[in-house]
Amino acid sequence: MNILLKSATIVDSSNSDYHLKKLDIHIQDGIIKDIAPNIDVSDNVQVIEDHNLHVSIGWFDSGVSFGEPGYEERETIANGLYTAARSGFTDIVLNPNTNPVPDSSSDIIFFKNAARSNAVNIHPLGALTIKSEGESLAELYDMKSAGAVGFYDYKRPISNPNLMKVALQYAHNFNGLVISFPMDKQITGKGIVNEGEVSTKLGLKGIPHMAEELNLARDLFILEYTGGKLHVPTISTAKSVKLIAEAKKKGLDVSCSVAIHNLCFTDETLLGFDSRFKLMPPLRTNKDSKALLKGLKDGVIDFVTTDHRPMDIELKRVEFDNAANGTIGLESAFGILNSLLGLENTIALLTKGRERYGLSNPSLKIGEKAVLTLFNPDIKYTFTEEDILSSSKNSAFLDSKMKGRAIGIIGNNQLIH
């Protein structure tokens, strides 16, 4: 690789020498060789000079699902990684919701090997319990040694509080990250949407706020007793933000994320019975969305995730009650966040979160490995199916107005552009 990024506006608030300045960046053999206002290079250099080219360190997503192995019709690893790259992501945390569920070191090694020659890095999660059945702990230490960055029964709450206690105590011995989906299954029952005025209008069974909040309060209470590291993915209520804030004030080692769709959609979106908006956790009220956004700006919520979850058409184009949960979100992430939060806040969020998973942050400096995202923050467009690169097309963001588009990435001595 021998590339010159020409007249690229650098967005990197951690580096005042470069931040929001238009500079040339020379990359050779995957290393940043020079950053200057005008770099003269030889004829054998590939020059990237896109209109309104911007660059930041590579984007990170803490919650991505594919399908392979087991559900290749939803998404393969190869196409999923290509989608991530074209969407601007150089690093993804891969959810353990394949078939079989990755609950051993050999499963983790499979995912690491699958992305070994790719521009995008996969950081796999292992299941917290065997087969994610919530009965017995999986091989946590062995999976950590093989490269797992955390342990999670994807979208399945741990009903047994003693199992959660033992998991936190055991993982604490090797600095393992326990991830717990906040949902009390007994209170949720057969609910499929947020319980409230909209669910009553639609005649759909509701999931009350306390189904999330009770489980979260329980886990935080256990964490205070055991110590260790806990991550709570995709919180969705105002009370959950408050509970996390209180736990952090106590000094508990807890982090949380919010899905992008819970920031910009509410349960009123469901009035059209469109199964693209059937999600877990469900879309909540306008009050909740505002509280989530405030929690994100205040730093109570640590980072955003696309919660990218491909589902093939047969699982979505059915009656709302029977439709599968989930939306894809990689392709639309930047355009939505940039419209909602502005450029600098968006880049800060999209480059945040690696440390929580024990990963090092890339650096946009001379002599460092080039782990970069290329994008145009000003282009305005309507998101359509033509913008979807995923094998599955179940996007809640279709027909949404976007501002900004990812152009590609540079990672592992490769350019995807």
Residue recorded with tokens 């959950």: 240
Other CB atoms within 10 A of residue 302 CB: 22
The pLDDT score that the predictor gives to residue 155 is 97
The pLDDT score that the predictor gives to residue 40 is 87
Tell me if the bond preceding 208 is cis, omega within 30° of 0.
no
DSSP state of 176: P
In 185-285, which ranges are continuous DSSP H helix?
185-188, 197-202, 209-226, 238-249, 260-264
pTM of the model: 0.96
Helix 238-249, helix 286-298: angle, nearest 10: 30
Catalytic residue among 24, 307, 378, 387: 307
Give the residue among 305, 312, 330, 314 at the shortest CA–CA distance from 389: 330
Q: How far apart are CA 283 and CA 265, in angstroms?
A: 7
The pLDDT score that the predictor gives to residue 50 is 87
Residue 174 tokens read as 């090797």
Q: Which H/E stretch holds residue 110?
A: helix 105-114
On whether the CB atoms of residues 11 and 375 are closer than 8 A, the answer is: no
Query: Which residues in the chain show pLDDT less than 50?
Result: none
Tell me if the bond preceding 233 is cis, omega within 30° of 0.
no
Q: Report residue 193: phi and psi, to 5°.
A: -135, 170
The pLDDT score that the predictor gives to residue 42 is 77
Q: Counting Cβ atoms within 10 Å, is residue 182 exposed (0-12), middle (13-18) or buried (19+)?
A: buried
The pLDDT score that the predictor gives to residue 78 is 96
Q: How far apart are CA 220 and CA 227, in angstroms?
A: 10
Q: Which domains does the chain have, with CATH numbers?
A: 2-55+365-416 (2.30.40.10), 58-357 (3.20.20.140)
The pLDDT score that the predictor gives to residue 215 is 97
Other CB atoms within 10 A of residue 108 CB: 25
The pLDDT score that the predictor gives to residue 374 is 98
Per-residue pLDDT tens for 196-229? 999 999 999 999 999 999 999 999 999 999 999 9
Q: Is 17 a catalytic residue?
A: no
The pLDDT score that the predictor gives to residue 212 is 98
